[in-house]
A = this chain, B = another copy of it.
Amino acid sequence: MKNLNKYVYSFGGGKADGNESMKVLLGGKGANLAEMAGHPELHLPVPPGFTITTEICTHYYKNNKKYPTGLKEQVSRAMRQVEKLMEKSFGDPANPLLVSVRSGARKSMPGMMETVLNVGLTEKTIPGLVKLTANERFAYDAYRRLIMMYSDVVMEKAQGIEPEDGMGIRKQLEEIMDGVKKEKGFKSDTDLGVDDFKRLCSLFKDRVKKVLKKSFPDDPDEQLWGGIGAVFASWNGKRAIAYRKIEGIPDEWGTAVNVQAMVFGNMGETSATGVAFTRDPGNGENKFYGEYLVNAQGEDVVAGIRTPGPINKESKSEHNKELKTLEEIMPKVYKELFGYQKRLEEHYKDMQDIEFTIEKGRLFMLQCRIGKRNGPAAVRIAVDMVKEKLITKEMAVMRITPAQLDELLHPMIDPEAERDLKPIATGLPAGPGGGVGMAVFTADGAEALAKEGKKVILVREETSPEDVHGMHSSQAILTSKGGMTSHAALVARGWGKCCIVGCSAIHIDDEKKLFTAEGKVVKEGDWITLNGTKGNIYLGKLPLVEPDIERDVYFRNFMKLCDAVRRLRIRTNADRPEDAIIARKFGAEGIGLCRTEHMFFDPARIKSMRKMIVADTLEDREKALAELLPYQKEDFMGILKAMEQLPVIIRLLDPPLHEFLPQEESKKRELAQELGISLEKLDGRIQKLHELNPMLGLRGCRLGITYPEITKMQVQAIFEAAADLTLKGVKVFPEVMVPLVGSQAEIKDQHDIIKAKAEEVQKKYKVKLHYMIGTMIEIPRAALVADKVAEVAEFFSYGTNDLTQMTFGFSRDDIGGFLPKYLEKKILPKDPFQTIDQDGVGQLIAFGIERGRRVRPDLEIGICGEHGGDPDSIKFCHGVGMNYVSCSPYRVPIARLAAAQAVVESKKK
């Protein structure tokens, strides 16, 4: 640990050693307590206390669970200060001070760590408390609470004692209490009287000694240090470790410990406790919103034994509308609280989540922090606060996470309905949102049922291009294999469709048309519900909440804020006019990737495509290509028209040809017949196309170079479509993209063919076309020789899927064999196909941009890989100076947000 001698930071009495900016050292809770207590703008009534820093936690774990010398002294000095402010003494039999001991990490880890209340209560101090409160029942109730918490948290958990019969001490003490209640015929804890509590305390202490082989400590200092140790121990509890792993919180951060004078909301009818938000966290409305309970402690509110009342009429709901509001029963205190919350929001310039306690009519502020909110609320609050001039546009765009924005874009399972349900299986969340439908196991079946108006979910081991019609007909897609960039995932994201992939917990039996998971059987036609945001699969129908972004004025205004801040342009990856239109609605400023190969899977076209592929001679190939030309032209007309006025990058044929060939025997036979050749001959040609590593074989521009006639047909279709539209007065900007280029010679070869065809078409149609010729940068070598490539290419589009595959030497299709182990062992921090690997792939990208722009300063550069929709990757793209990112239509708003955040973040640096 650093050579700092200050381990303990005091707060209270209008002063504080720390402040809100010291979260790293004091934890979130400690820093906010200091801010509330000490900042002159706030000056709130906070019960005095002190914070032991996170550095002590780190020291504790680095030094075999020992504290640094000097800590004890600093703690007792801080305790003296609390005693002075409270005019009580810790352990004083006549006038005892009680304290709470709570955790507080840099980032909130709700419920993951431990708390001990009422510390300082012993046989000796109980009489003092009785005297102070004039309430013996209250004192023994507090004592039994202390025993229950302490024996559980400090004596059992923190010592790592495993209960023999699996039943922990807390549970045992609860059973004793239930026994006493049953014996007396009581229904509620409130029925218990002072003698009952006295008896319970005695029974509890006996049981603790018997089970844990140790007496409950009767010394306040022992209790205090036991509590502190338990909080530190809970940092490395199983639950906390698991939570940190999920949330990406480093183990080294450690937790602080907050020791604070107890105040009691359970001292009768003028006492109360409550939680509130400065705005509605459910929808963002600007109203003070909260709940309270009279004569209760904080834990009672959480426990949900009594229904809390609304703090004001704005907070009334169906559940609590009959109850009195705090404003009604304690108008003065409410007014005070209302003032404080306003002060807090103005001070923090964000919606606050606050906890308060009223002890005998006196208001204490126990906690404040940034309030959690859902997506719609986050958007509304940000937009409103800009309007109120509380925050700037830049601050507003930083307030919404991409995941929150995503909530607005997809139908979601109603959170209420999902809350306590256990999924039957969990897979990879490949397409966000919720989907409800009947399980169907074939693409044809899905399409047929959908035509009858049924809602279906296609369930497959994996999907292939042959399943696309069935995928399109489905509400959602579920696969048991494949990863986040598998065919199913790519297609689903493209359509904004709910999708779960790689769910290895389900076992599909295609023949019997069913799948099993955790012993449950789902047959064709059975209803299931998918949560594609989380990857959860549920049995039955759950209700969905539908988004309506077009009518959502807050969404639209928030997007305008993003647009005003961002520099990157946002394009979309769309192969069909329908997708292009959706993307335009979401704000796409062009198409960054229109794949031409998907166009060939239509049954009407695949035949000609297959003829082309198995053609033996140039002549046959050209004949088949001539059949495809009108289809291609029609496709391009559609997409160029949908994107009128905007640029459209069309990529020439990319995948290995064998992807278009039929796999099944029957379809092969059909094809052979159609082609008028024998099955053997067809098999021979298919065999010839077989490759050991097709990803690195005859594909991309290698196709167009080997068979120039393919390129010629495709660009003829593009330019004729553009010419037709231009003659009709439609302004179009086609940009022809050559895939898989690795050298200048390759792009030059294709460039010359494309250029010649463009001239030919322009002459024929007597129009001037505005077009560009460019290339994908997806082969590592292309980035290395980008200067040479840019001498020919007018634009670069980074194909980061392939670039990642080749830079890592990872086949996306086969990564399942080792990626899970790699992530588990932290050999990879993240799946590099989801977020750009900045250290490796990123170097190549930056290198290519620098070299490309060196020879062609106005080179248009973008990204069209899956990373184009990933916020972290978008920020990287901004940083390296790309002109645009291109992503699937439903990611366009996310990209607009991430692009805006990139500007703000880069300014901070």
Contact = CB atoms under 8 A, between A and B. Distances in A.
A32 to B, nearest CB: 37
Interface in A673-723: 691-698, 702, 705-706
A844 B784 contact: yes
B839 A809 contact: no
A808 interface: yes
Q: How many copies does the complex hold?
A: 2
Nearest to A700: B809
A86 interface: no
A807 B828 contact: no
Interface residues of A, number: 49
Contacts of A696: 693, 695-696, 805-806, 809-811, 814
A808 B807 CA distance: 10
A314 interface: no
Contacts of A509: none
A85 interface: no
Contacts of A694: 692-693, 811, 814
Contacts of A742: 808-809, 840
Contact of A806 (B706, B740, B809): B809
A843 to B, nearest CB: 5
Interface in A456-512: none
Interface in A697-755: 697-698, 702, 705-706, 740, 742-743, 745-746, 749
Given A698-B817, A705-B822, A706-B817, A746 B693 contact: no
Given A827-B749, A828-B743, A817 B691 contact: yes
Contacts of A784: 807, 839-840, 843-844
A743 B814 contact: no
Contact of A691 (B702, B749, B785, B811): B811
Interface string A751-786: 000000000000000000000000000111100110
Contacts of A818: 698, 702, 705-706
Given A694-B693, A806-B807, A780 B813 contact: no
Contacts of A778: 809
Given A706-B817, A742-B840, A749 B781 contact: no
A519 B784 CA distance: 48
B809 A740 contact: yes
Interface in A807-847: 807-811, 813-815, 817-818, 821-822, 825-828, 837, 839-841, 843-844
Interface centre among A780, A805, A808 (most CB of B within 10 A): A780
Interface string A660-680: 000000000000000000000
A594 to B, nearest CB: 22
A819 to B, nearest CB: 9
A802 interface: yes
A691 B802 CA distance: 17
A811 B746 contact: no
A818 B745 CA distance: 14
A780 B692 CA distance: 21
A867 to B, nearest CB: 16
A249 to B, nearest CB: 20
A697 B817 contact: yes
A840 B706 contact: no
A691 to B, nearest CB: 4
Contacts of A781: 807-809, 837, 840-841
Nearest to A745: B827
B697 A811 contact: yes
6 contacts: A696-B805, A698-B818, A742-B809, A780-B844, A781-B840, A784-B844
Given A693-B694, A696-B811, A697-B817, 9 more contacts: A694-B811, A696-B805, A698-B818, A702-B817, A702-B822, A705-B825, A745-B826, A749-B825, A780-B844
Interface of A: 691-698, 702, 705-706, 740, 742-743, 745-746, 749, 778-781, 784-785, 788, 802, 805-811, 813-815, 817-818, 821-822, 825-828, 837, 839-841, 843-844
